[in-house]
Chains A and B, each alone.
Chain A
Amino acid sequence: MTFNKMSGRLPATITSVMSMLFISSAQADYALNMTQGVTPISREIFSLHMIVFWICVAIGVVVFLTMAWSILHHRKSKGAVAANFHESTTVEIVWTVVPLLILIAIAIPATGTLLDLEDAETDAEVTVQVTGIQWKWKYNYVDEGVEFISSLAQSSRDVIKDPTGNENYLLEVDEPIVLPINKKIRFLFTSDDVIHAWWVPALAVKQDANPGFINDSWAIIEEPGTYRGQCAELCGKDHGFMPIVVEAVTETEYKQWIAAKKSEAAAIAASADKEWAMQDLLAKGEAVYQANCAACHGPTGAGIPGVFPAMTSSPVVTGDVAGHVDIVMNGRSGTAMAAYKGQLSDVDLAAVITFERNSLGNSMGDTVQPSAIKNAR
């Protein structure tokens, strides 16, 4: 009677406990496992991960249960008397050969997956060159001539002291990379400075971006959506602040986006030919400075003593305009100062140089026009 009642209740109890767990996990994120991802490779990797995991669990159960049994039963306090065996060639051979067979069983599917993973070239339909730059990503759609830089969104920078409730904190960018679904996308990776690594877990793509070399990887994204990732190789101060956002869209939407990007680029190029007023340059320059220069030279131009020079009263910034333009455009070899002519437009360069000369504690009073930058290229 009582037993019946209990057994009737038990499933309900389990369900309520489970649902409580579920609710609490909906409030707090206790994700335990790797994502399966949205590409054929990511699913292959996931299943391989689970196979190896369960093999480890099985071996662990056998070893730890044997230990536990021994600890419980072969103890002096229970009157156990020590046996004296201490050698057995047969046993040694068995526990060398059996693990070897298990390893072969792991190695076979692993080899297949690895060969798939490394075949980026065959039938690639879209090629994107990804360049790691301290601390942002540059994307170049090689076949389309579309190029832009993607860096951490201001919405994350603003709440760095207390990000509570900020959805996608540190995983949001100003300009996501847009990719078509169901196409084989080949990524080419390189870097302008130190080694970075481009990692989007849902795509199972993690590849180092090495300065002076090109690596590749690939993905076929099967579901539209937003997929987020981060730099995975320590690349200096703001390594934790260079996220990746991939927007996977249908082919039509992708084509529209490419077209929009092209006309946007044309408009920017056209604006370089007009004469800019100082206050317009300053306003634009401040935004460019905060996005590109502040990470090292500081939001107020103070720099970091001994590592990154200050902007305020800097001999370069308060010196000859041509010298200043040269350093910003071409960088300074042997230091962390990058060449920005490949990263910024004529307008952006003119604006940021003007801003540096007339703000951050400097007041040189001169402006640099986009046309001057264009000539200096």
Chain B
Amino acid sequence: MTTATTHDDAHDDHGPAKGLMRWVTTTNHKDIGTLYLWLAFIMLLTGGSMAMVIRAELFQPGLQFVKPEFFNQMTTMHGLIMVFGAIMPAFVGLANWLIPMQIGAPDMALPRMNNWSFWILPFAFTMLASTLLMEGGAPAFGWTFYAPLSTTFAPDSTDYFIFAVHLMGISSVMGAINVIATILNMRAPGMTLMKMPLFVWTWLITAYLLIAVMPVLAGAVTMMLTDRHFDTSFFDAAGGGDPVMFQHIFWFFGHPEVYIMILPAFGIISAIVPTFARKPLFGYSSMVYASASIAILSFMVWAHHMFTTGMPVAGELYFMYATILISVPTGVKVFNWVSTMWKGSMTFETPMLWALGFIVMFTIGGFSGLMLGVAPVDTQYHDTYFVVAHFHYVLVTGALYSIIAAFYYWVPKWTGNMYSETHGKIHFWWSTISVNVLFFPQHFVGLAGMPRRIPDYSLQFAEFNAISSIGGFAFGLAQVYFLYIIIKTIKGGEKATDKVWEGATGLEFEALPSPAPYHSFDTAPEIK
């Protein structure tokens, strides 16, 4: 009897194992969250370096640094690494860290699977990156890998790409199963669904999207594989197939995918704005319904990426109407955030700055999204730099900004240390000025007629491309500075209080000390 009690006490207190094996064998949600976040950051810098190569080549007209085939490899790998390596794993990392603490659970529901779903990824990305060293080079068909450029006309390394995508898909699906199982089964007593923080809500919806669409992506790459090696003709008209069918399948995955990359961001912003406005989130339930509406609509709009493929006009009309309809629930979100700020008592610590930057610039990306959704005008926008500007506004100043905001907001809880407010603010202003110098002019060159994915351009686009490149280098450098801030904060700094922020709410701030202990909520907290 006494022995048992002693054992239990010891179990409550034990910390992480020592050494490297801690990270290999860990099943702790905080450790795995940290692993995901570091992987995402390494991938951000890797994909970012490729963007630097792209911007260096585009700095002036003419081919100065790379050959066209290598340029195409860079755009392809940049896209794949940023989408699958940086943004998605960063959100999974945040989910791992935060969901158990926010719902009062001791850990994720499936900790061993959690370990596995992380440890697949370094292998997947090593395999993907290794194609750069192969004869014939890495995949060079864009991150959207349209057939037949990715089948009949692709380099041999494409098979490694296919396998890597399969691995990433398996990892994502396992991560999503874990999130759903955790949220539906592990909430503390009294934590009803409509009491959950919005980050938990948006991740629950995201996880369903992942489970629905990652198998579709797996199907697409498998069909590519059999077209390449086993004489099938899914995407080859000569054998009765259809290259446009590839695009339908890809975007049936791809459009929900873009919401996979933005819904958790909505959750983060919905946590940060009320904290620093010292006022509860405006329209909590409408935020939940808006997120669900966006998720459902996201399955019904995929062909707006394909207005120039020769769809029947009835199809174009439907996809146009459905697409512009998405701006309604998205608008509701922005209006709710602004109303949360209205008549608040705001302060502007670093997380709030990033969140406000998100709201403004994500809205700009939303406006260009609405413009792109108008099918006849998309004739002129499609596949130009206007599109590049659009999706970088929603993915960089949208998704990435929310991730950085989340870092500053929760890092005191994770490490027990405050980051330096001065460094955080410099990081914000440096990034925000440079990111607009980088992407805003791309709207102009796109409208003026510059296609995307070209290594060289005519002289009329020279000035804005030079400006854009300068912005790009500055933005890239700002993220190296971010690395310094991250390391400095982990190593030390002013001690954070348990509540961290004056206006913070939620279990992680109100029921746990800073830093959060290795094992939290061994007994369920009481929910008021």
Contact = CB atoms under 8 A, between A and B. Distances in A.
A152 to B, nearest CB: 11
A204 B376 CA distance: 9
Contacts of A333: 238
B463 A307 contact: no
Interface in A198-251: 199, 201, 204-208, 210-213, 215-216, 229-241
Contacts of B316: 114, 118
Contact of A210 (B243, B321, B375, B377): B243
Interface in A63-87: 63-64, 66-67, 70-71, 74-77, 80-87
A194 B328 contact: no
Given A110-B376, A208-B310, A71 B341 contact: yes
A60 B309 CA distance: 32
Contacts of B223: none
A106 B280 CA distance: 35
A306 B156 contact: yes
A162 interface: yes
B380 interface: yes
Given A31-B444, A48-B374, A169-B459, A76 B356 contact: no
Contacts of A45: 376-377, 379-380
A204 B379 CA distance: 7
Given A34-B447, A194-B153, A114 B317 contact: yes
B453 A70 contact: no
A208 B321 contact: no
A349 interface: no
Nearest to B383: A232
A240 B457 contact: yes
A211 B237 contact: yes
Contacts of B504: none
B424 to A, nearest CB: 18
Contacts, number: 305
B308 A207 contact: yes
Query: Which residue, B142, B155, B377, B384, has most C-beta atoms of chain A within 10 A?
Result: B377
A94 to B, nearest CB: 9
Interface stretch (A96-104, A122-130, A275-283, A310-318): A96-104
Interface string B34-75: 000000000000000000000000000111100011001000
Interface residues of B, number: 100
Interface stretch (B8-16, B170-178, B261-269, B343-351): B343-351
A166 B458 CA distance: 9
Interface string B359-375: 11001100110110011
Nearest to B337: A67
Interface residues of A, number: 105
Interface in B202-250: 236-238, 242-244
Given A84-B280, A163-B62, A67 B341 contact: yes
B451 interface: yes
A118 B311 CA distance: 10
A336 B141 CA distance: 14
Contact of A307 (B155, B281, B317, B334): B155
Contacts of B242: 212-213
A162 B380 CA distance: 29
A360 interface: no
Given A110-B374, A199-B451, A305-B135, A87 B282 contact: yes
Contacts of A207: 308, 310
Given A70-B338, A115-B313, A76 B448 contact: no
A76 B376 contact: no
A266 interface: no
A114 B313 contact: yes
A31 B448 contact: yes
A69 B25 CA distance: 52
Contact of B464 (A30, A83, A212): A30
Nearest to B149: A194
A206 B308 contact: yes
Interface stretch (A12-20, A51-59, A140-148, A256-264): A51-59
A23 interface: no
Contacts of B457: 170, 240
A91 B338 CA distance: 13
B149 A306 contact: no
B243 A211 contact: yes
A160 to B, nearest CB: 5
A-B pairs with lowest CB-CB distance, top 7 = A212-B237, A306-B136, A306-B135, A240-B454, A215-B310, A56-B367, A31-B448
24 contacts: A29-B459, A29-B461, A49-B380, A74-B341, A86-B282, A103-B328, A106-B374, A118-B316, A160-B62, A160-B63, A169-B459, A170-B61, A195-B149, A199-B451, A201-B449, A208-B310, A210-B237, A210-B244, A234-B453, A240-B451, A241-B68, A306-B134, A306-B137, A336-B153
Given A45-B377, A240-B457, 13 more contacts: A29-B461, A44-B376, A56-B371, A80-B345, A80-B346, A95-B331, A103-B324, A110-B374, A110-B375, A114-B320, A204-B379, A230-B454, A305-B136
Interface of B: 61-64, 68-69, 72, 134-137, 140-142, 146, 148-149, 152-153, 155-156, 236-238, 242-244, 277-286, 308-310, 313, 316-317, 320-321, 324-325, 327-328, 331-332, 334-335, 338-348, 356, 359-360, 363-364, 367-368, 370-371, 374-377, 379-380, 382-384, 444, 447-449, 451-464
Interface of A: 28-35, 44-45, 48-49, 52-53, 56, 59-60, 63-64, 66-67, 70-71, 74-77, 80-88, 91-92, 95-96, 99-100, 103, 106-107, 110-111, 113-118, 134, 159-164, 166-171, 189, 193-195, 197, 199, 201, 204-208, 210-213, 215-216, 229-241, 304-307, 333-336
